[in-house]
């Protein structure tokens, strides 16, 4: 009895010492991290609680709840006067330097050896841990080189997958209204359609593969937030712990994808070697093929490995799934909560049905480009219902730092820059009624111009009008980024969302919702209203 009491007391003492040691470790880690972070010029104005120790700790806590508000405050106080300001960031990152819209191209035109997109993204997504050590840049560069040039040939397959996925997820009952969770519906459609382009038709319809994709995407989001709140010095421990489930999800996905990747790899290598029987063989166009093809061209033999290719899929699964689902989810909430008398849904239904008939019952690149109202509705939702305060970040990697000649300050090595998407896209000086969802804000001008006789079309005006399309980026519309590092998949996303919306509205009835559910902000990103539901049923007379 006495012995058990003593052991119990020793256990309590040991536990207390472990807890105390962990607390001291993390306190020390935060202190070390703080001393390593770059110091910014005193003349740059600050938002938040100040730069002292107490202020820094309050900023780390306040970042979770107030980051979006802080950036909005700085936009009104400083950005609109063409001045730069500093806003607190998460504990793992240096404070962020927010440059005004007038200096957008100054930041974006600097070479990668001076300010790095990859390093900035790594500070946000923790590539080493979330993407299992392979990074994201190689996969993104392959998409840059191959997706746009193959998109025309991919459209029939994307259309097929959209139709089948929507039918499967939403059902075909023409009698009973069905209550559906809107987020779950989009999560059922987008990964399947996206993976038609990434891994082809056989894998993209595998339910276990798709379930693992969704789990993996959710894990990246959660892990990124967790790691952002820990000091960098602790990441080698914390990062490996929190991403155990990433490894498990990849392993389950890879068991399904590897047979296809291995066969494609063997066939393409045989064709490249000129083996008999492969003269007329043509590989399926998807990311697997593009990755192998680019690795052969570059002579990069380390990438000609099936497991490596399966890991290269991971950052694309995250980027293409997460952002597209949020965009589609917000789009339907914006449309369904708009005043029905505005006729948004009926107008988009009429436009998509008409163009679809004109194209012979199949989508083409040219036909999709004529969906002015549909395109405008999506772009307007991207403008109004932004899912992040910023999607453009750059990190100073030049050892000597950079000099801002416009304002006369110097940013040291390691400084983190951002462009404010939220402030620009809700600026009343740039957009009339900026907090109103005007679905046809961009299409009115485009339609009016397209309907003019050719002899009355001004070339310069035509160029300006063409820039109102959703895939065109600018310093006042940053949803897809801007400059040479703008999202390379935006043309695919545009086609995908247009096809989904067209099929949805022409084949289903959806009841309007009285009020748009509001998202919540967590740090720099929103948490969408995940519980939002819609009432839906199949239209009679559709097949």
Per 3-state DSSP, what percentage of the chain is helix, strand, and coil (rounded to 5)? 60, 10, 30
* H or E stretch at 149: helix 137-170
Determine the Cα–Cα distance for residues 23 and 526; give it in Å rounded to an integer: 30
Question: With contact defined as beta carbons under 8 Å apart, do 151 and 196 qualify?
Answer: no
State the Cα–Cα distance between residues 444 and 237, nearest whole angstrom.
54
Cβ proximity of 47 and 40 under 8 Å: no
- Please state at what angle helix 137-170 crosses helix 182-198, rounded to 10 degrees: 130
Helix axes 207-228, 117-125, angle to 10 degrees: 100
Sign of dihedral through CA atoms 50, 51, 52, 55? positive
Token pair recorded at residue 481: 């980024």
Report the C-alpha gap between 510 and 448 in whole angstroms: 30
- Closest residue by Cα to residue 66 from 88, 51, 85, 46: 88
For β-strands 416-419 and 96-99, DSSP reports them as parallel
Say which residue the tokens 């299409």 belong to: 443
Query: Is 487 part of any known ligand binding site?
Result: yes
> Do residues 102 and 81 touch, judged by C-beta distance below 8 A?
no
**What string of H, E and C letters represents the secondary structure of 18-75?**
HHHHHHHHHHHHHHHHHHHCCCCCCCCCECCCCCCHHHHHHHHHHHHHHHHHHHHHHH
Known binding-site residue numbers for heme: 487
Known binding-site residue numbers: 487
């Amino acid at each position: 009895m006495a012995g058990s009491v003593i052991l119990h007391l020793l256990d309590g003492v040991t536990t207390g010492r472990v807890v105390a040691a962990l607390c001291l470790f993390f306190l020390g880690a935060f202190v070390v991290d703080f001393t390593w972070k770059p110091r910014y010029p005193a003349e740059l104005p600050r938002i938040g609680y100040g730069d002292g120790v107490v202020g820094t700790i309050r900023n780390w806590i306040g970042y979770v709840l107030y980051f979006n508000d802080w950036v909005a405050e700085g936009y009104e106080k400083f950005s609109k006067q063409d001045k730069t300001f500093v806003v607190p960031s998460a504990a793992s990152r240096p404070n962020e330097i927010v440059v005004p819209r007038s200096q957008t191209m100054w930041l974006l035109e600097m070479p990668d050896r001076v300010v790095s997109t990859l390093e900035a993204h790594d500070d946000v997504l923790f590539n080493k841990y979330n993407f299992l050590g392979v990074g994201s840049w190689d996969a993104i560069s392959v998409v840059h080189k191959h997706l746009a040039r193959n998109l025309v040939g991919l459209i029939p397959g994307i259309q097929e997958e959209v139709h089948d996925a929507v039918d499967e997820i939403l059902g075909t009952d023409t009698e009973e209204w069905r209550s559906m969770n809107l987020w779950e519906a989009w999560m059922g459609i987008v990964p399947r359609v996206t993976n038609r382009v990434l891994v082809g038709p056989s894998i993209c319809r595998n339910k276990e593969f798709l379930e693992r994709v969704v789990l993996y995407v959710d894990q990246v989001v959660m892990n990124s937030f967790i790691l952002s709140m820990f000091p960098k010095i602790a990441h080698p421990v914390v990062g490996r712990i929190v991403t155990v489930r990433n490894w498990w999800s990849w392993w389950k996905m890879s068991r399904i994808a590897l047979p296809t990747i291995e066969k494609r790899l063997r066939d393409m290598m045989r064709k490249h070697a000129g083996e008999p029987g492969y003269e007329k063989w043509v590989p399926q166009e998807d990311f697997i093929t593009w990755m192998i093809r680019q690795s052969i061209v570059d002579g990069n033999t380390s990438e000609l490995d099936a497991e490596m290719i399966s890991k290269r899929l991971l950052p694309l699964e995250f980027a293409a799934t997460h952002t597209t689902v949020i965009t589609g989810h917000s789009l339907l909430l914006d449309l369904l909560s708009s005043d029905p008398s505005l006729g948004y849904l009926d107008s988009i239904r009429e436009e998509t049905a008409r163009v679809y008939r004109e194209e012979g019952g199949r989508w083409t690149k040219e036909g999709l480009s004529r969906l002015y109202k549909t395109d405008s509705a999506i772009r307007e939702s991207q403008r109004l219902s932004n899912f992040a305060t910023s999607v453009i970040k750059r990190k100073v990697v030049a050892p000597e730092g950079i000099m801002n000649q416009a304002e006369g300050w110097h940013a040291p090595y390691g400084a983190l820059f951002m462009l404010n998407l939220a402030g620009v896209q809700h600026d009343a000086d740039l957009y009339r009624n900026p907090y109103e969802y005007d679905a046809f804000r961009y299409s009115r001008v485009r339609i009016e111009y397209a309907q003019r006789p050719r002899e009355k079309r001004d070339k310069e005006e035509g160029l300006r009008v063409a820039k109102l399309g959703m895939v065109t980026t600018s310093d006042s519309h940053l949803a897809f980024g801007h400059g040479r590092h703008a999202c390379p998949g935006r043309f695919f996303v545009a086609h995908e969302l247009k096809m989904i919306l067209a099929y949805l509205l022409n084949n289903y009835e959806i009841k309007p919702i009285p009020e748009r559910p509001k998202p919540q902000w967590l740090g720099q990103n929103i948490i969408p209203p995940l519980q939002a539901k819609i009432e839906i049923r199949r239209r009679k007379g559709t097949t």
